[in-house]
Amino acid sequence: MPSPRLSRIGRRPAAPVGVKEGHVFMSDARVLHFFGGKGGVGKTTLAAAYALRLAEEAPKEKVLLVSLDPVRSLSDLLNKKLSAKPVKVEEDEAAAAAAREAKPEPKGKGKAAKATKADGGVWAMEVEPAALAKGFLAKYVPALQKAAVKGQHLTEEDLGKLYGQATPGLEELLGLLHVVELADSGEFDRVVVDTAPTSHTLRLFDMPVGLRKFLGIVKAGAERAAGKGKKAAAPSEEQLFLEEFAAKAEKLLGQLKDPARSAFHLVTLAEPVPEAQTRMYFAQLRERGIPVVEVVVNQVEDKEGCTACLGRRGLQAPHVRKYQALDKNVPVHLVLKREVAPRGLELLKPFAREWASGKETKTMEFAASEGPPALVRAPSMPPIAAPPLPPTRLIFFVGQGGVGKSSCAAAAAVTLTEKEGPVLLISTDPAHSLSDVLQSRLTDVETQVKGTKGLYARELDMAGWFSNLRKRWKEKAEKAFEGAPKTGNEVPTDLLLFRNLLDAAPPGIDELAAMSCLTDALVQERFKRIVVDGAPMVSSMRVVELTDTARGWFTALHGVLSKYKSKGLGELADDMAAFLKHIKRFEDALASPNESRFVVVTRGEDLAAARSERLVEYLKERKLQVERVLVNRVGPKADCPKCENRRKNELNAAKVIEKKIGLPVTVAPALGRHPAGLRELKAFRTAWYALSATAKTKAA
């Protein structure tokens, strides 16, 4: 990536109004810089480096580096414990003290000089949405309940109960609003945001639209109740509060879409799964009008080393070419893979300078002849045979994005099918990659994989599932309100709500599709095993969190609708009861070690190890059974010093994970290219081995 001062996007010859002279690198006046991408691509590192570079170019400016990522890896990266309050990033107290002694303050101007110096530099914080939500919800829920008015069937009290259920998940939106308010306050000149992984961020960007629809329903109902031709009463304090919040969300949406104010830096890796998700992410951001200013391909291999080194680089070539074909107006910048990942200011600052120079992109350009190598043959016998997978119905392969969950889940499913019979492999990741891994065209229907006798696979279409659910609920609502006005200002408030029930659902309810489909597969008992390639998760699992949120929402809906069965709302009440049964069945399955186990997939890297530790802690806190940690793509023994050093680092990270977490670690070796197709997946699974010797086991 070029230096910020050489940005190709929105460049102007003169500084715009409000931007001081000397801010050459800020000549486009953008204040908000979002760094986003699949989990594990290095967006936190690049966001931190970008903020440091901005501060170095303009020492008198204040740059805020803020993390919206629930994994809280910014603290790990900076080696500094951060909180929800911005703190200045210092190299260390000793260095700061030495600098003060070397340059004493002028007499009579000490305080002023100190204050001026403190103004510039990088400040960092990690947003704590739950703390922001506490005070807000204390006003928001009563305001919604007071706005509720009697419908054709529902009383004010019942409608208020349903309105009050549409609050879980707003914490993330409040966090983003808080960041934008800090930018608007003028306290900071630029704000660099490390966003949550792809699906979280897209959901966050959609929240203002969903909120507008929901509050529009609430407002429309109140206005209809006021009646026609009556003089409008002065808005209440609660109404003003809701309108103010809606206006803030609307303003936020405008700021996110404003290319003169905001910029989205899309970070990725040159690997199959990150590439598939990045192409989807790029299209989704464009659909929402979010200005993507560059694609940054992180951890690109250099042109030096042995055949294996060059093979790793060759694997990256086709993916980089696809990024370059996304849009000729969006530059693609390459960042060199460091053998030691930059961590702490001592390493981050020189990394920021090297990256900003733009030289890496030129020196690492791919030649037309570079391409993927052949698959390396797996060793005939692994060092220590990996223990068999547990005999449970559900096996979740979970972890952050880009670690190889899809390949590992598919390899396990292929082997289990040969040994045990019918297996369902299902992807609940919005950026599906099972089709590529299995080299088989998959849809939202269970499809038998060619060449197998009992492996069925499915890529869940969440958007289609929700579209069908929305249509079904709308039809049942219309049927329950036969005879009521269907258009105009006379439409009953409760009909407005039931027509758009999913718009009034708690944010994050989209995981309902995954939970429902997995429960259907469990209930049918058609498959001996169900292997789940889950959505990326770092510190929490949405489909698990959903059980609490969804139970509360469906219980409230069922409780209200059941009172009005005789008035035609019985079919909707029955739907809610069916979903409550699904939730209970899914919770029971998760809680039973005989029905579900989790395999945490990770890579042999320091930051990945810290994230995996937190993920295992989260799963254990929820009393979910973690079977093992699978460290993926560990290099084989090599004569090449570069390859051997990398292998040792990866194995050392795996040993740290095993020691800290206290779970058995299975190692999946790198076999040259990413395994695809039944033959390669089987060879890949056969090559898995245990990191440490355990009780006698046989390979599964």
Q: How many CB atoms lie within 10 A of CB 520?
A: 12
Residue 443 per-residue DSSP state: -
Residue 609 pLDDT level (bands cut at 50, 70, 90): confident
Residue with tokens 């779970």: 663
DSSP codes, 70-118: TT-HHHHHHTS---SS-EE--S-HHHHHHHHHHSPPPTT-HHHHHHHHH
Q: How many CB atoms lie within 10 A of CB 641?
A: 10
Contact call for residues 47 and 410 (beta carbons, < 8 A): no
The answer on 506 and 449 residing in a single domain is: yes
Q: Is residue 60 part of a domain?
A: yes
Q: Where are the alpha helices (DSSP H) in 563-671?
A: 570-591, 606-621, 641-661
Question: How many domains does the chain contain in total?
Answer: 2
Residues whose CB is less than 8 angstroms from the CB of residue 41 and which lie 6 or more positions away in sequence, other chains included: 267, 268, 269, 274, 298, 401, 402
Residue 682, CA distances (Å) to 161, 368, 380, 413, 599 in order: 53, 31, 12, 9, 18
> How, if at all, do strands 121-126 and 62-67 pair?
parallel
Residue with tokens 């807000």: 136
Tens-place pLDDT, residues 123-134 = 999 998 888 888
Residue 700 pLDDT level (bands cut at 50, 70, 90): very low
The answer on 431 and 296 residing in a single domain is: no
Domain endpoint, select from 342, 363, 384: 363
Burial class (CB in 10 A: 0-12, 13-18, 19+), 358: middle
The answer on 83 and 193 residing in a single domain is: yes
Two tokens at 116? Answer: 């001026």
Most confident region among 68-77, 82-91, 287-296 by mean pLDDT: 287-296
Across 336-356, average pLDDT: 90
Residues whose CB is less than 8 angstroms from the CB of residue 554 and which lie 6 or more positions away in sequence, other chains included: 576, 579, 580, 583
Across 474-490, average pLDDT: 84
Residue 490 pLDDT level (bands cut at 50, 70, 90): confident
Q: How many CB atoms lie within 10 A of CB 66?
A: 28
Look at residue 449 and give its three-state secondary structure: coil
Whole-number Å distance between alpha carbons of 469 and 368: 48
The answer on 676 and 603 residing in a single domain is: yes
The answer on 400 and 341 residing in a single domain is: no
Domain endpoint, select from 320, 347, 363: 363
Residues whose CB is less than 8 angstroms from the CB of residue 121 and which lie 6 or more positions away in sequence, other chains included: 55, 59, 62, 63, 88, 89
Whole-number Å distance between alpha carbons of 612 and 629: 8
Q: What percent of the chain has pLDDT over 70?
A: 86
Q: What is the domain extent for residue 670?
A: 394-690
Averaged pLDDT of the chain: 83
Tens-place pLDDT, residues 457-466 = 999 988 888 8
Residue 226 pLDDT level (bands cut at 50, 70, 90): low
The answer on 314 and 415 residing in a single domain is: no
Q: For the chain, give percent helix, strand, coil, nearest 5.
A: 50, 15, 35
The answer on 359 and 406 residing in a single domain is: no
Tens-place pLDDT, residues 157-190 = 998 888 888 776 688 889 999 999 998 888 999 9
Domain endpoint, select from 341, 363, 385: 363
The answer on 413 and 332 residing in a single domain is: no
pLDDT reading at 692 higher than 70: yes
Whole-number Å distance between alpha carbons of 672 and 643: 12
Contact call for residues 540 and 616 (beta carbons, < 8 A): no
**What is the pLDDT, as a whole number, of residue 544?**
75
DSSP codes, 185-251: TTS-SEEEEEPPPHHHHHHHHHHHHHHHHHHHHHHHHHHHHH-TTSPPPPPPHHHHHHHHHHHHHHH
Q: Of 213-222, 440-449, 618-627, give the lowest mean pLDDT range.
A: 213-222
**What is the pLDDT, as a whole number, of residue 232?**
54
Q: How many CB atoms lie within 10 A of CB 699?
A: 16
Q: Of 4-13, 77-86, 381-390, 562-571, give the lowest mean pLDDT range.
A: 4-13
The answer on 399 and 358 residing in a single domain is: no
Residue predicted with more confidence, 608 or 320: 320
The answer on 406 and 353 residing in a single domain is: no
Residue 385 per-residue DSSP state: B
